[in-house]
Structure 1
Amino acid sequence: MRNWQEMNALTLAYLGDAVYELWVRTHLLELGHEKVKELHKQAISYVRASTQAKVLHALLPDLNEIEQQIVMRGRNSKGGHPKNVDVLTYRHATAFESLIGYWHLSGQNSRMGWAFDQVDRMLLQERQAE
């Protein structure tokens, strides 16, 4: 496999999407969700572009220089066609997925865990506000 530095941002996002999706599904099972319909409903709240974009914005102040570069590459990459979301939100979601792909390939599991904790905090706050 090529080094992450040689990969374009959309390739990192492709991998990051899969890593994030696997975490979401595993996490929901760990939380005790068992019914497939409920699992799917909960998973959507985690993986939708608007959630990913919000999480990215929350993470930005704490990202190091390399991580910020990955985010910029992901945000500026041209690819995909957003459905039911504006282009800017879609690009920020792609940047989030690129970051996850980078962390996965570079073995930074603790950084991914930190980011995933932010997702949980954000979704919990949204549910409490409803």
Structure 2
Amino acid sequence: MAEDLMAESLENLSFQQSEMESRSVKEQGSSGIECAMTAELLQNTLSIEQQGINDEAPNLSPLALAYVGDSIYDFRVRDYLCRRYQENLNRVNSRKTRLVCAKAQSDLMGYLIEEKLLTEEELSVYRRARNHKSQSHSKNSSITDYRRATGFEAFLGYLYYAGKISRLISLVEKGLEHLLAENEAKE
């Protein structure tokens, strides 16, 4: 009987704790959850920098680097927007959609090149991927924008595998600030 009461008490305590967590989540809203998840992923990503996985970068094909770089860029945009705009996730997602398209990536890469922010090695990775023959391209972008975007994504994948995470974050954030400033000027 005492064991039954103890088990019931533990069950009630567990239920109360999950109710409190649920209320906390509702109070924060989904934006708070997304930002907390993003912060945790950021910490995990930064720990990779200390591991230094430099050996991988030169051995991967340009398209493999672009494949990884695409997801990194998408994550970095989400993280940046969650930190910058504390608003409804639909609006944040709308901004994200405009920033991750091939045209925006092409413009961002153009800005980095124009401002001479890249090393010769980074430009080499970009050019190799940009000039790589691809089987298709996005129907919503020009072939030029698509190839520049592929080169940009490969460049990000290269920085990731080279363990240059801080540089990757810095360059992406400078580019995003530029793109957002341009978008605000147009509106």
Counterpart check, 1:15 vs 2:68: yes
1:6 to 52, 59, 63: 59
One-letter amino acid of the structure 2 residue matched with residue 111 of structure 1: R
Secondary structure at the aligned position of 2:137 is classed as coil
Q: Which ranges in structure 2 are unaligned for 5 or more consecutive residues? A: 1-52
| Bigger fraction of residues in helix | 2
2:117 to 43, 58, 62: 62
Shift of 1:39: 2.1
Structure-1 separation of matches of 2:91 and 2:179: 19
- Cα–Cα, structure 1 residues 45 and 33, in superposed 2: closer, same or farther, change >3 Å? farther
Secondary structure at the aligned position of 1:78 is classed as coil
Please, what TM-score do these two structures have when normalized by structure 1? 0.89
Shift of 1:52: 0.7
1:65-119: CA deviation from partner (whole Å, max 9, x where unpaired): 2111101111011224222111011000001100110111111123212322222
1:90 to 128, 140, 146: 146
1:43 to 96, 117, 130: 96
Shift of 1:34: 4.1
2:105 to 34, 52, 56: 52
Structure-1 separation of matches of 2:141 and 2:90: 23
Structure-2 separation of matches of 1:62 and 1:78: 26
Correspondence for 1:122 = 179
Q: Structure with the greater relative contact order (CA < 8 A, sep ≥ 6): 1 or 2?
A: 1
Which has the higher Rg, Structure 1 or Structure 2? 2
Correspondence for 2:39 = none
Shift of 1:11: 0.4
Structure-1 separation of matches of 2:85 and 2:183: 20
| Identical pairs, percent | 29
Please, what TM-score do these two structures have when normalized by structure 2? 0.64
* Mapped contact 2:66–2:151 kept (Cα < 8 A): yes
**Greater mean deviation of Cα atoms: 84-93 or 108-117:** 108-117
**Greater mean deviation of Cα atoms: 61-70 or 13-22:** 61-70
Q: How many residues align?
A: 130
CA RMSD of aligned residues (A): 1.7
Structure-1 separation of matches of 2:96 and 2:171: 16
1:113 to 129, 145, 169: 169
Correspondence for 1:78 = 133
Structure-2 separation of matches of 1:126 and 1:42: 10
